[in-house]
Amino acid sequence: MFVNKNIAVLHATETELLFNFDNGVIAGVTAEAIEFLNELKEENIDVDKLNGDEREFFEFLQDNDFISKNEFSYEVKPVSAYIHLTNKCNLHCVGCYSLDEKRNKYEDMTTKEIKEVILQLRTGGVENLIFSGGEPLLTKNIIEIVRYAKIDCKFPNLILITNGTIFNKAVLGDLAKYIDTVSVSLDTYCSDGKPFLRDPNIFDKIMRSISWLKETGNNVNILPTIHHLNSKYLEEYVNLAKKLGVTISFSILSACFEGELLNYLPNDEDLQTISQFMKKTDMAIEDSSIVEKFHAENYCGAGKTIISVGTDGNVYPCHMLMYDEFCLGNIRKESLIDILKHSQKLNVFKNLNVDKLSGGCKECPFKYFCGGGCRARSYMKYRNVTTRDPYCVLFKDYYGEMTEEMFK
């Protein structure tokens, strides 16, 4: 009998918590159950002679991949990828993660090159492909590209992120044939509201696009970005989603902690407000461990389960770490498999988990819930990917109360 190496145990107030990082399962068990698991690991138990309770726990461990009759595979490969189709954008958003000197200036990859990248991603095991930019709807042959991904490459899940201001009836309508979710990023929540991060007078354009997307059968999700200036208006965004008849998830502004952005980045009070709202509404924050259900995490996934491809073919550990110092290689010049296998820069990410982070993570009782938070935010704040997430307050507040309620 083989015991999964990607599991861990934490002692809670009146129970032991057993975590499986491969599938996210979290279980509250007794100290005796942990001892039983350790005995299995040492091969000191005859599984044919288990009593009723032992047999039930043994079957639970098997059903949830804590143990197996077969040896576990520990191969790590990306299951999600961002592909940035174009650097062109018609807006000027404060804090845009993809804004650089290439914006609206450099040539993008050709349709043929984009297709070759998409094929490599699928061949490499990626299942979730996120089309981003720039503004992806400014990409030449966008429908041809997404059709290729869904029909020819058979991606199980395709997401397209758009700012919602490019209104082309034919293109928006055709997306429904191939895209599983059109995620519309959002700034304000009403037409007469002052914009926070984006250009003025675009709300009604976005609403028109959403209306047409829904009318043509698209699955639409709105994606507001939370920051210091709007963290008190989260309920208004939820009400807007209900009014539109669409789903909603939130992202949280993550950017370098300097210059004009300091006025937008959430402070500790904002983060606690966000935490309380997420607990009350059971909502998710994109690119974080705060999801609809508790999930075992020991790492954010950067460079392991997620990668990002830039408009020039450069490959990065994630879409928030698209800095020159983290460029792993170029997919137009070498295969994705070779990049993931041989890139020296990827080694630091391959070996990272929350137990190797500094800043108090190793001792934190919530470390296997948040997984240490976001490596990109750590870099943006401390210029170091191996220390704690500067939004740690958000996770401590969220998981502190949630776990307390869970194990009362």
Domain of residue 89, CATH code? 3.20.20.70
Full residue range of the structural domain in which residue 109 is found:
80-281
Question: Which of 40, 68, 96 finishes a domain?
Answer: 68
Confidence band, pLDDT 50/70/90 cuts, at residue 206: very high
How many helices and strands, by DSSP H and E, does the chain display? 13, 15
Whether residue 390 lies inside any domain: the answer is no
pLDDT higher than 80, residue 289: no
Q: Say yes or no: 21 and 44 in one domain.
A: yes
Q: Say yes or no: 126 and 156 in one domain.
A: yes
Whether residue 127 lies inside any domain: the answer is yes
Burial class (CB in 10 A: 0-12, 13-18, 19+), 71: exposed
Q: Say yes or no: 209 and 264 in one domain.
A: yes
Domains identified in the chain, total number: 2
Average pLDDT over residues 307-314: 96
Q: Say yes or no: 35 and 181 in one domain.
A: no
pLDDT confidence of residue 292: 63
Question: Which of 42, 68, 94 finishes a domain?
Answer: 68
Q: What share of the chain is helix, strand, coil (3-state, %, to 5)?
A: 40, 15, 45
Q: Say yes or no: 141 and 276 in one domain.
A: yes
Q: Say yes or no: 20 and 122 in one domain.
A: no
Question: Which of 10, 33, 68 finishes a domain?
Answer: 68
Are 128 and 80 contacting, i.e. CB atoms less than 8 angstroms apart?
Answer: yes
Whether residue 253 lies inside any domain: the answer is yes
**Mean pLDDT: which of 184-198, 277-291, 310-324 is highest?**
310-324
Confidence band, pLDDT 50/70/90 cuts, at residue 1: confident
Q: What is the pLDDT of residues 222-269, one digit of tens each?
A: 999 999 999 999 999 999 999 999 999 999 999 888 877 889 999 999
Whether residue 29 lies inside any domain: the answer is yes
What pTM value is reported for the model?
0.93
Distance CA 195, CA 189 (A): 9
pLDDT confidence of residue 294: 80
pLDDT higher than 90, residue 48: no
Whether residue 301 lies inside any domain: the answer is no
Six-digit token string for 224: 């507001």
Please name which of 177, 262, 251 lies closest in space to residue 218, comparing C-alpha atoms: 177
Given the DSSP bridges, would you call strands 181-186 and 157-162 parallel, antiparallel or unpaired? parallel
Q: Say yes or no: 217 and 149 in one domain.
A: yes
Confidence band, pLDDT 50/70/90 cuts, at residue 179: very high
pLDDT higher than 70, residue 94: yes
Q: Say yes or no: 127 and 38 in one domain.
A: no
Q: Say yes or no: 139 and 41 in one domain.
A: no
Q: Say yes or no: 24 and 128 in one domain.
A: no
Are 207 and 199 contacting, i.e. CB atoms less than 8 angstroms apart?
Answer: no
Please name which of 141, 147, 220 lies closest in space to residue 178, comparing C-alpha atoms: 147
Q: Say yes or no: 224 and 194 in one domain.
A: yes
pLDDT confidence of residue 13: 67
